[in-house]
Amino acid sequence: MEEHKGLDHENVLRLLYVEDTTNKDLTYLVLELCAGTLTDYCGSKSKGPILPPDELVLYQIANGLNYIHSRDLVHHDVKPDNILISMSTPVKMKSSDYGFV
């Protein structure tokens, strides 16, 4: 979580706040709100925003990964379930799930 808190890029999901419970059994993470995952969109489950052209979607995913690589980090679990679709206009792809970074 410490590494994720330090990430600041338009194509990386933002970790806004972390709170441990008093008994330390649970940790609450407050993350940036998104419309859904790339898996949802490809499976037609999402009625969310219209995605940009495929080339731009791929560029944004690669751009986010390039940013974390520039910070000497590796994602370890890149898949459509871990690519989120922003609620902003224009729509942006956000890489997520930094549990194994």
In a domain, 70, yes or no: yes
d(CA 72, CA 66): 10
Verify whether residue 77 is a known catalytic residue.
Answer: yes
Number of domains in the chain: 1
Residue 41 counted as domain residue: yes
Alpha-carbon distance 16 to 35, whole Å? 17
The catalytic position among 20, 40, 54, 77 is 77
Q: What is the CATH number of the domain that holds 90?
A: 1.10.510.10
pLDDT tens, 21-61? 878 788 888 899 999 899 888 876 656 788 899 999 999 99
What does pLDDT average to over the chain?
87
pLDDT for the residue 27: 85
Question: What's the rounded Cα separation, in Å, for the pair 90 and 70?
Answer: 25
Q: ω into residue 90 within 30 of 0, thus cis?
A: yes
Whole-number pLDDT of residue 50: 85
Q: Which domain holds residue 33?
A: 2-95
Q: What is the pLDDT of residue 4?
A: 78
For residues 94 and 32, the answer to whether their CB atoms sit within 8 Å is yes
